[in-house]
Structure 1
Amino acid sequence: MKTYTRITLSLLTILSLSACKNEEITPNRGKVKFETVSISSKLAGRIEKIYVQEGQLVKQGDTLALIDIPEVNAKLIQAEGAITSAQGQLDMAFNGATSEQLSQIDGQLNAAKAQMDFAQESFNRLQNMFQDSLVSQQQFDEVKMKLSMAKAQVSGLQAKRDEVTKGTRFEQIEQAKGQLDRAQGAKQEVLLAADERYVIAPTDMSIETISLEEGELLTPGYALFNGYKTNGVYFRFTIPESRIYDYNVGNTLTIMNPYTKDETQAKIIAIKQLAQYADITSTSPLYELSESIYELKVVPTSDISGQKFFNNATVLIKK
């Protein structure tokens, strides 16, 4: 009888201890997750060199790959040529005409004045002859037209000489400055494109997959590297509708690794409903209602530098 009593007491003790132990852990199980990172290129090119391997940890600013973009060098030469040309135009606008240009204009002006004087003398002679009816109307009109053309040529050359003597107009200088700014902007754009040859890590991360190999063509926007942020760990729990009311955004939780027994203090930052597709209630309205499923996103608030986390590893919530 005593033996049975001892066995019964032992069983009750074990059940009691088991019940106490179960009270520490909720039925909600979650998974370890990491913020994902995808790295692509803005420009198309051929992969010249890859400097990392899958599974490697890299730091922010590390060079991951080198892309060969041959068009960059050609566009850089074009941009530098445009800058040289625009700078020459601006210098010419500031300096005005040279002595050689003035000499050429003076020579053209003197020749035009000589032609005008000759045309004037011819006009005077034919005018008297026309009044005496010695020449026809057509001959007189031709001489008159030549005189008008000679005067117009002299006026144009005189205006050109006045312009180069007084200096370049303000609008021409501003136009030359605009051309220089545009050429310099084009060069800066090419230099920025040259920097895109280097694929740089945007944050501390682990490289999980490399989608292409050296020599293959990389198109703009295509993810060359995929990985996880080193400091981007969080926990994801799926909670049924019947228990979601126990949680609120901002609540603090204690997360435990069931294998290492490490505990982490964490906070709920988001609660959202997971997508729910057709279930039995859509065809059988009288069937018992199914529960909606919600997701908790929980981030650590305590120091986790001494803990080890693996993606999709199981974690538990302590009460």
Structure 2
Amino acid sequence: MGAADCRGAVLAFVAWGFWRASQPPAPYFQGQMEARESDIAPKVTARIARVAVKEGQHIQPGDLLIEMDSPEVQAKLAQAQAAKDAAQAVSDKAQRGARPQEVQMARLSWQRAQAAADLAKTSYHRVESLFQQGLVSAQKRDEARTNWRASDAQAAAAQAQYDMAASGARTEDKAAAAAQARQVDGVIAEVEAARAETQLRSPVGGEVASVLAKAGELSPQGVAVVTVVDLQDQWVVLNVREDQLQRFAVGSKFTGRLPALDRTAEFNVYHLGVLPDFATWRTTRGSQGFDARTFEVRARPAAPIEGARPGMSVVVE
């Protein structure tokens, strides 16, 4: 090859280099793996007695996480139980009615009042006969008649007392007493539920990602103490500018590389969502171009990726 040919080859290589440098770089996206996490918090305020799990431990739904000690819950349960006993006693009394001795006393009182009324009636008839004969005054007759009527009214009242004792409480009173007992049962059930919450159990299965509780600490209501991550429910998150979004349509597939595992995997896009305005790509020249929004792309692995962990990078070229 002559000198001219060499110079031509060098010029061609330099020109090719300038052409390559002027070409836009190939699209390159970097995301990271995410997984479903559950922050588990107690429903009652109590002091932590024992932590039953450690970070990295695999658990099943229903496994014990934290044991808590709450004297307040125990005190409320004792109060509710005492209220239940009192309400049940009132209900039993209403259902059973008066005691046999009380019914017997009411019956004897009625009989005594009826005997007095019968005697007053007989006395009145005698005085009435004497009045007709002119042997007693009208005043005496009126007094005898008034005494008879008063005694008869007392006998009627005594009979009503006896009937009430014999028939027991009214239906409305029985229903009210029974309802009061059921209401207290509800209070006990509520306190029992609070006591059950002192044994904090996991509603989900997975791996314990973090344990924020320590024995002896006071755990406030609603503050997470354990985080559980489900490694079977993972996805990758990419931030993609809208002018490059066509290859990430919902339902499409792409291949990503996980540098931490030195392997590739196929992903299925299932979600697109626009990010807030502060994440928008903005043009540098106000007279040209437009503001390009940024979208969040979520995609699940087509098959489980063994060894994948939340936070691992995924590179898509």
Q: Give the TM bin, normalised by the shorter chain.
A: 0.7 to 0.9
Q: 1-side partners of 2:180 and 2:233: how far apart?
A: 48
Pairs within 5 Å for 1:74-89: 74-89=75-90
1:93 corresponds to: 94
Q: Is the 8 A contact 1:238 1:296 kept in 2?
A: yes
Native 8 Å contact 1:281 1:287 kept in 2: no
Check if 1:294 corresponds to 2:289: no
TM (norm. structure 1) is 0.73
CA contact (8 A) 2:97 2:168 kept: yes
How has the CA–CA distance of structure 1 residues 28 and 176 changed in structure 2, closer, same or farther, with 3 Å as cutoff? same
- The residue type equivalent to 1:314 in the other structure is S
Cα 1:92–1:263 shift into 2, 3 Å? same
Count of aligned pairs between the two proteins:
290
Task: Name the CA distance, whole Å, in 2 between partners of 1:278 and 1:248.
Answer: 20
Q: Deviations over 1:52-108 (max 9, x none)?
A: 233433332221111111122222223333333333333333333222111232354
What is the alpha-carbon distance in structure 2 between the residues aligned to residue 191 and residue 282 of structure 1?
A: 62
Q: Hey, what does 2:199 align to over in structure 1? A: 198
Pair member with larger Rg: 2
The question of 1:172 aligning with 2:173 is answered yes
- Gaps spanning 5+ residues in structure 1: where? 20-24, 133-139
Residues 1:280 and 1:203: Cα distance change in structure 2 (over 3 Å) = closer
Tell me how far apart the structure 2 counterparts of residues 279 and 261 of structure 1 sit (CA, whole Å): 32
Describe how 1:236-247 pairs up with structure 2 within 5 A. Answer: 236-247=237-248
1:174-230 C-alpha deviation (Å, 9 max, x unpaired): 223212222222222222111101111222233333333222211211111234223
Q: Letter of the aligned partner of 1:310 in structure 2? A: R
Structure 2 portions without partners, runs of 5+: 21-25
TM-score by length of 2: 0.73
Q: Which residue of 2 aligns with 1:218?
A: 219
SS at match of 1:245: helix
Which is further off, 190-199 or 262-271? 262-271
* 1:225-252 Cα deviation digits (max 9, x unpaired): 2342232211001101111122221223
Secondary structure of the 1:221 match is coil
RMSD: 4.0
Q: SS where residue 250 of structure 1 aligns?
A: coil
- 2: CA distance between counterparts of 1:281 and 1:237? 19
Is residue 309 of structure 1 aligned with residue 283 of structure 2? Answer: no
Tell me what 1:22 maps to: none
The CA distance in 2 between the partners of 1:105 and 1:242, in whole Å, is: 97
Q: Find the counterpart in structure 2 of residue 158 from structure 1.
A: 159
In 2, distance between residues paired with 1:221 and 1:53? 21
Which moves more between the two structures, 208-217 or 189-198? 208-217
Match of 1:136 in 2: none
Q: Is the partner of 2:74 in helix, strand or coil?
A: helix
